[in-house]
Structure 1
Amino acid sequence: MESNDLMSAALAVFRDEAADLIAQMEALLLRQEAGLCSEEDLHALFRCAHTIKGSAGLFGLDEVVRFTHVVENVLARVRDATIQFSSELVSVLLQCQDHIAGLIAAGLGGEIADSERSDQLIIQLIPWASASETVAPAAAPGLAQPAGGSDFGMFGSDCWHLSLRFSPEVLCNGMDPLRFIKYLAHYGRISHLETITDHLPTLDQADPEQCYLGFELALQSQASLEEIEAVFEFYGETLKLTCIPPHSQVGTYLALMNSLPEDKKRLGEILVACGSLTSWELEEALREPAGEEPVSRLSETPVDPAVAPVSGGTSAAAPQRRSDDVRGNEAKSVKVPADRLDALIDRVGELVIAGASTHAQATRSRQPELQESASLLLSLVEDIRDMALRLRMVAIGEVFSRFPRVVRDVSKELDKQIDLKISGAETELDKSMVDKVGEPLMHLLRNAMDHGIEPAEVRRARGKPEHGTVSLNAYHESGAIMIEVVDDGGGLDPDKILKKAIDKGIVAEGANLSQQDIYQLILAPGFSTAEQVTNLSGRGVGMDVVKSNVEALRGTLDIQSELGRGTTMRLCLPLTLAIIDGFHVGVGDSQFIVPLDMVVECVELPPGLDQVDYMEQRGVALPFVRLRELFGERGRAHPRPRVVIVRFAGKRIGLVVDRIYGKCQTVIKPLGPLFQHVPCVSGSTILGDGDVALILDILQLLQEVVANEGQGGHKPALALSA
């Protein structure tokens, strides 16, 4: 892989990791404001900022490093209990977290970072940080070379001494040792650097992809051992790092010299040049046995005991165990680009169609062995289909996690006390839908807080708690996912909505509308009942966007409300946009697919029901829809029609059909431009014999039944041609 490809891959990993860490910071800050943070959460919050700063420095995002360094110091003071969290501090840190995300996006996009905004936020952090901590480190770190001889040894070295030996393959892994060494300047000043060239081969024997160099350096820094080790944690087994703290005993340096393969005299000269030892100290040390041991971080690679530095207890083992844990977790999951996954689903869909065709041909051949083989193939294809679809299923909590911050900010803007309750975050749906459902939910949530939840004084007058509640609920029902946005506010006033609709000319004066029809008016473009325009609402946009976005996902929006008690906005979405289990039926010359999860049972249509649209089923009236009349089918009718009873959202209806073929795997294909707006149809599929069947939208059929009952007669046939 070329260096550009390696860098692009590394940047992609950094972008994903930074997004996860920023989201984690937001969640932890909101937990802290709610009083739910533990001591471990405070450590995790600090680690988020620290990791972002370290990773950003490796890619030269200096403004990210400069700003995050200040945030990290404030979080360190919180972690150490030097200062306490407050609502004001959380608000500023949330702004800082947003700004870090913006700086990273700007840096990766090649844009100029907003350093002015950084300075404004740093000023806001001053009350929680000492003056020295709000001064950011130099933006462009480099290697400071000594002007002459060093005299550190005369007073005892106040520098960290770092000894680095890289494995030859480190360059092949895309790592640049010099970049990491330069990054140390963010923690202090590199006062001296010596390059170890003892293992460098002759030019004709050198491999340009191998690393033959080592480094000894002195670092003036107040950083801890953990912070210095964190700079090099990405190297893992490809680096042997030894860190000697400032003011260590001379014997520690002697132990380091004994552990390295280079000439001891040469190493001694390097230590003197770095200022870690004086010439006199070196001479005295060489006359006596080693004393204190160096603090080391060793890789798992077996090392010759004759050259291995002595381990400094847990300081080496603990980081290595953490590295092992990370590698163990990474081994359990593999990141796959979304486009590759989509391509896999498409191929599986074609495999399903080919398998159904093979099974149909085998059935027509009436050869038992071929039929058995085709059935086995079809079963395996079903298993592959289910596994492939599960790869694309993600928890709706990925969307829900964005909203606690929204509720917090909007409630402060509206000066309302609003709590958010989330349930069913583990409910899964297709990844492609997760990416698209966020915007409709955002509109519904903001609408519930602005229009639904009343001000505190109004709630008190109505005998309600001052704190309003907005709930996000998700659950599966009949092969679909239901997402509810529920508020305990004032509810919808149907009289006010109808009057506003008449004033705007959306409906005619004297129109006879049901309560559900009136509620649906708020989805009309330009409709708003707000008395004044605010930053959140009043311009008549938002709910119509929700409707169009939901319909684009083949979903529906149901509205239920009780005046004075609250409103429920219920989104109904298909679980997947790719492949489903279907129930194949026929009407005349046409073929239809009913989602199998919604099918309850099949019965014969009782005779004598030509003039009515309902039948008695176990003592209960069951309305039904004649698909022949609904779609204007003129093919030959069956003398004994069947009724397929389906259930959705607690309601049942019957579908009158001519023939029942049974279960089939259904690959959902979008309708062409001429048929995209045909009601009661959500898509099409290709059957095993090559015919095309339409996939019925059961929810729209239910709505057709309700509308039909309201008008007291048959609705005209739906046009399927243009």
Structure 2
Amino acid sequence: MHDDEEILAVARAGFLDEASDMLRQFEQALLIMEEDPTDAENLNAAFRAAHTIKGTAGLFGFDAVVHFTHEAETLLECLRSGQLAVNEHLTALLLRSRDQMEALLEEVRSGESDPEVAAVSHSLGAELRAAMTATSAPAAPSAPSAAPSEAAEVTTAAQGPGYWHISLRFGLDALRNGLDPLAFIRYLDSLGAVKHMHLVQALIPPLEGMDPENCYVGVEVAFESSASQQAIEQVFDFCHDDCDVAVLAPNADAASRQALLERRAEDSEAREALSSLWDRMGLVAPAEADLLPEPELTPAPAPTPIAAAAAPEPVSEAAPAAHIAAAAPSAKAAPKERKSEESRFIRVRADKLDRLIDLIGELVIASSGAQLVAHTEQSPSFMEAAQRISDIVEEARDGALGLRMVPIGDTFARFHRVVRDLSKQLGKDIELVITGGDTELDKSMVETIADPLMHLVRNSLDHGIEPTEQRIAVGKSAQGRLAFNAYHESGSIVIEVSDDGKGLDRDRILKKAIERNLIPHDAVLDDEAIYQLIFLPGFSTAEAVTNVSGRGVGMDVVKRNIESLRGHIRVASQPGRGATMQIRLPLTLAMIDGFLTMVGDVHYVLPLSVVSECIDVPQECLADPDRVCGTFDLRGEVLPYLDLARFYGVEPGLARRRSLIVVRDGTVRIGLVVDRLLGEHQTVIKPLAGIFRHIKALAGSTILGSGAVALVLDMQGVVQAATRQDTRLAPGLGLYSQRIGSDDKVAA
């Protein structure tokens, strides 16, 4: 019993993961449908997503999900058949249905039922049914409608012998592939009634020759239903690769039945027995069969209350009712193609992947230690072996980190719905443009960055982009534009959220900050420093609080979440032209290629991607060795520098020749004065203990091959320390308390 419960739990988790993917596809298809109602394939995609959720939920017995999803699916079928025209009301109704499906799936996940969720299902289901029964002129079909022969099947279903004939032969691997034959039979109850069912015992081998993992199930079913042939066939869509399915209409002719008889029986004796069985089950008209002794019939299983199955998905030409519907070759090709595509992917638990990354990190440290010993021993063969191991470990590291990289476009795509709903709520016409969606980012970052992006989007829509009347009055297009862009730069990923609205009001921000005593009234700030004020807790320039924004809660959370990922955010704005929020994040939080340096007895690591060049310490730095920071001339360009020894209060080493490392963070270049250069180093980043978090410009630590601890520099903090210092700035800005050129030391 314990094993069964564990298997069901794993299967349920897999269903919920798949359902989440289907919900995203469903929502995306609905949003496209709103923009282009004539896109028939997109409408079919929405229907398939809903059908998959309902069908899989039915196999697990999640009746609440099945019942409600069927209502939405039926409305989609009305749109596909042209009975209803796509309009804003129906799209909004389907989007609300998508949200309700998510709520019902969350109940499945938690195992708890909420009466309010059930009430919403009831009321929203009534709205869906009302929308389907609303009188409207027939619209031009957005998808090919069912062929006339299909409609004829329904009207003639009661003719002939009166029952649909369903003949199933499951493959030996059906059970191994997770199929439950009885579940498909029970699912038929949603379309009609199973009158008779007979298990083909000839397919079952003797007990001594039976493999308990093989499936030996073959059944003949007499099914009473007014559904169409395709609706019945779709019940078995999920098992076409593992089951030979044949469906004969009640009015099928003798030739069709004879063809099926020859498929199912090899010799004349077996055919006579099978024909007699069909006759006694009511599957053969009296004129077609010779009456033979009545075989023993297996009673049909008790009906299981499952919601109605999927409405048929129209095809360009329906199969004639008189022919066997045992899946045409084209119909079988699609499932096989999908299965082949799906076989390229495998779901892996996130904690297992994290454990693998941790082990790879320990392997990197061990490899570094082996190289250190090899150099100490001065053994050429040992050094060669250690280097070969190091190369393999580096390749394994890159491969393991690549497993956690996902396209950020999936995160961007979620905002189509947000922009759509908020623009309608605010009465604005706004277009969302996404570029760079294939740029990859560590999955752990994707989950954290989604919330900050949400805040930025809401502020752009509410405060940035003007109403249509104001845009037209100033000569802008009536439709506003919100853009997402992502790209790689210098070992980092850059995410930009920009709009073409009115931009940030520099003077208003400064005035509000002074009114709230966030900065002194005589503070001297450049534009970028002023724009950074919007990230202070409680800061807002909104004249009125709305349901969308305006309370000053959120932008400080944006900055805090981004900085927790060792990233930073910058703001650029042009009055009347729009604003851009630029987020810069490291590619991964786990391991990096680093550049190892030494100051005094302390090792420091910089990301190798930011190192531009290494030079001797310039004369400007040597002129006053006690200065923490200043400027120097690099081939005609004036750059700021920071002496790490003075910055951290470390006594410089006794090395006669110190060095300056020129690093680049985005478009900013600075120099870092260090005592020794130790070269490249594969760095496994480990978090600092809470007691050290107050120390500025540190991103974490790492363990060297010798067992010593090195500190990983946070380039954002280092750049701020070297370039943005003012004695009158408020501490809340996180800037240091002096100007470049001051002779006072900076407190670390």
TM-score interval for Structure 1 and Structure 2 normalised by the shorter chain: 0.7 to 0.9
> How far apart, in 1, do the equivalents of 2:533 and 2:450 lie?
23
When residues 9 and 317 of structure 1 are mapped into structure 2, their CA distance, relative to the original with a 3 A threshold, is farther
When residues 715 and 357 of structure 1 are mapped into structure 2, their CA distance, relative to the original with a 3 A threshold, is farther
> What are the Cα deviations for residues 382-430 of structure 1, in whole angstroms up to 9, with x where unaligned?
1111111111111111210110100000011111111111111111111
Structure 2 counterpart of 1:679: 696
Q: 1:443 aligns with which of 452, 455, 476?
A: 455
Task: Tell whether 2:236 aligns with 1:219.
Answer: no
> How far apart, in 2, do the equivalents of 1:660 and 1:212 lie?
71
Q: Do the aligned partners of 1:471 and 1:487 also contact (CA within 8 Å) in 2? A: yes
- Partner AA of 1:282 in structure 2: A
Q: 1:256 aligns with which of 255, 260, 273?
A: 260
Structure 2 counterpart of 1:245: 249
Structure 2 counterpart of 1:315: 327
> What are the Cα deviations for residues 35-75 of structure 1, in whole angstroms up to 9, with x where unaligned?
28633222222222222221111111222222222222222
**Shift in Å at residue 20 of structure 1?**
1.4
Task: Tell whether 2:359 aligns with 1:347.
Answer: yes
Q: 1:381 aligns with which of 393, 414, 421?
A: 393
How do 1:122-141 and structure 2 match up within 5 A?
122-126=125-129, 128-130=131-133
Q: Do the aligned partners of 1:7 and 1:174 also contact (CA within 8 Å) in 2? A: no
Task: Tell whether 2:745 aligns with 1:716.
Answer: yes
Task: Tell whether 2:279 aligns with 1:276.
Answer: no
Structure 2 counterpart of 1:649: 666
**Shift in Å at residue 176 of structure 1?**
2.5
Structure 2 counterpart of 1:147: none
When residues 167 and 470 of structure 1 are mapped into structure 2, their CA distance, relative to the original with a 3 A threshold, is closer
Structure 2 counterpart of 1:327: 339
Structure 2 counterpart of 1:407: 419
When residues 629 and 528 of structure 1 are mapped into structure 2, their CA distance, relative to the original with a 3 A threshold, is same
Structure 1 counterpart of 2:537: 525
Structure 2 counterpart of 1:160: 164
When residues 656 and 479 of structure 1 are mapped into structure 2, their CA distance, relative to the original with a 3 A threshold, is same
Structure 1 counterpart of 2:484: 472
Q: 2:578 aligns with which of 566, 578, 582?
A: 566
How do 1:417-566 and structure 2 match up within 5 A?
417-566=429-578
Task: Tell whether 2:407 aligns with 1:395.
Answer: yes
Q: Do the aligned partners of 2:276 and 2:290 also contact (CA within 8 Å) in 1? A: no
**Shift in Å at residue 552 of structure 1?**
1.4
When residues 715 and 188 of structure 1 are mapped into structure 2, their CA distance, relative to the original with a 3 A threshold, is farther
Which one scores higher on RCO, CA 8 angstroms, separation ≥ 6? 2
Q: 2:650 aligns with which of 622, 630, 633?
A: 633
Q: Do the aligned partners of 1:630 and 1:715 also contact (CA within 8 Å) in 2? A: no
When residues 332 and 81 of structure 1 are mapped into structure 2, their CA distance, relative to the original with a 3 A threshold, is same
Structure 2 counterpart of 1:31: 32
> How far apart, in 1, do the equivalents of 2:355 and 2:380 lie?
35
- Partner AA of 2:634 in structure 1: Q
> How far apart, in 2, do the equivalents of 1:183 and 1:224 lie?
15
TM-score (structure 2 length as normaliser)? 0.85
Describe the SS at the equivalent of 2:221.
strand
Structure 2 counterpart of 1:120: 123
> How far apart, in 2, do the equivalents of 1:131 and 1:59 lie?
34
Q: 2:185 aligns with which of 181, 206, 218?
A: 181
**Shift in Å at residue 203 of structure 1?**
8.0
Structure 1 counterpart of 2:82: 81
Task: Tell whether 2:25 aligns with 1:17.
Answer: no
* Higher deviation after alignment, 541-550 or 603-612: 603-612
When residues 356 and 561 of structure 1 are mapped into structure 2, their CA distance, relative to the original with a 3 A threshold, is same
When residues 6 and 234 of structure 1 are mapped into structure 2, their CA distance, relative to the original with a 3 A threshold, is farther
When residues 624 and 311 of structure 1 are mapped into structure 2, their CA distance, relative to the original with a 3 A threshold, is farther
List gaps (5 residues or longer) in structure 1.
133-151, 287-309
RMSD of equivalent CA atoms? 2.8
When residues 357 and 116 of structure 1 are mapped into structure 2, their CA distance, relative to the original with a 3 A threshold, is same
Q: Do the aligned partners of 1:153 and 1:277 also contact (CA within 8 Å) in 2? A: no
Structure 2 counterpart of 1:137: none
Q: Do the aligned partners of 2:612 and 2:662 also contact (CA within 8 Å) in 1? A: yes
When residues 567 and 272 of structure 1 are mapped into structure 2, their CA distance, relative to the original with a 3 A threshold, is same
Describe the SS at the equivalent of 2:694.
coil
How do 1:574-585 and structure 2 match up within 5 A?
574-585=586-597
* Identical-residue share of aligned pairs (%): 43
> What are the Cα deviations for residues 412-452 of structure 1, in whole angstroms up to 9, with x where unaligned?
11111111111111111111111111011001111111111
When residues 649 and 714 of structure 1 are mapped into structure 2, their CA distance, relative to the original with a 3 A threshold, is farther
List gaps (5 residues or longer) in structure 2.
136-155, 294-321, 727-737
> How far apart, in 1, do the equivalents of 2:631 and 2:158 lie?
102
- Partner AA of 1:607 in structure 2: Q
Structure 2 counterpart of 1:3: 4
> How far apart, in 2, do the equivalents of 1:315 and 1:201 lie?
28
> How far apart, in 1, do the equivalents of 2:481 and 2:694 lie?
37
> How far apart, in 1, do the equivalents of 2:22 and 2:225 lie?
26
Q: Do the aligned partners of 2:256 and 2:324 also contact (CA within 8 Å) in 1? A: no
**Shift in Å at residue 655 of structure 1?**
0.6
Structure 2 counterpart of 1:145: none
Describe the SS at the equivalent of 2:724.
helix
- Partner AA of 1:389 in structure 2: L
Q: Do the aligned partners of 1:154 and 1:278 also contact (CA within 8 Å) in 2? A: no
Q: Do the aligned partners of 2:631 and 2:640 also contact (CA within 8 Å) in 1? A: yes
Equivalent pairs counted in the alignment come to: 677
When residues 283 and 389 of structure 1 are mapped into structure 2, their CA distance, relative to the original with a 3 A threshold, is same
* Higher deviation after alignment, 600-609 or 395-404: 600-609
TM-score (structure 1 length as normaliser)? 0.88
Task: Tell whether 2:382 aligns with 1:370.
Answer: yes
Q: Do the aligned partners of 1:708 and 1:715 also contact (CA within 8 Å) in 2? A: no
> How far apart, in 2, do the equivalents of 1:4 and 1:449 lie?
48
Describe the SS at the equivalent of 1:112.
coil
> How far apart, in 1, do the equivalents of 2:433 and 2:249 lie?
50
Q: Do the aligned partners of 2:485 and 2:496 also contact (CA within 8 Å) in 1? A: yes
**Shift in Å at residue 76 of structure 1?**
2.0
**Shift in Å at residue 607 of structure 1?**
2.9
Describe the SS at the equivalent of 2:650.
coil
Task: Tell whether 2:41 aligns with 1:45.
Answer: no
Q: Do the aligned partners of 2:496 and 2:581 also contact (CA within 8 Å) in 1? A: yes
- Partner AA of 1:631 in structure 2: Y
**Shift in Å at residue 480 of structure 1?**
1.0
- Partner AA of 2:363 in structure 1: L
Describe the SS at the equivalent of 1:246.
coil
> What are the Cα deviations for residues 453-509 of structure 1, in whole angstroms up to 9, with x where unaligned?
112222222222221111111111111111111111122223222332333333344
> How far apart, in 1, do the equivalents of 2:690 and 2:78 lie?
61
When residues 603 and 494 of structure 1 are mapped into structure 2, their CA distance, relative to the original with a 3 A threshold, is same
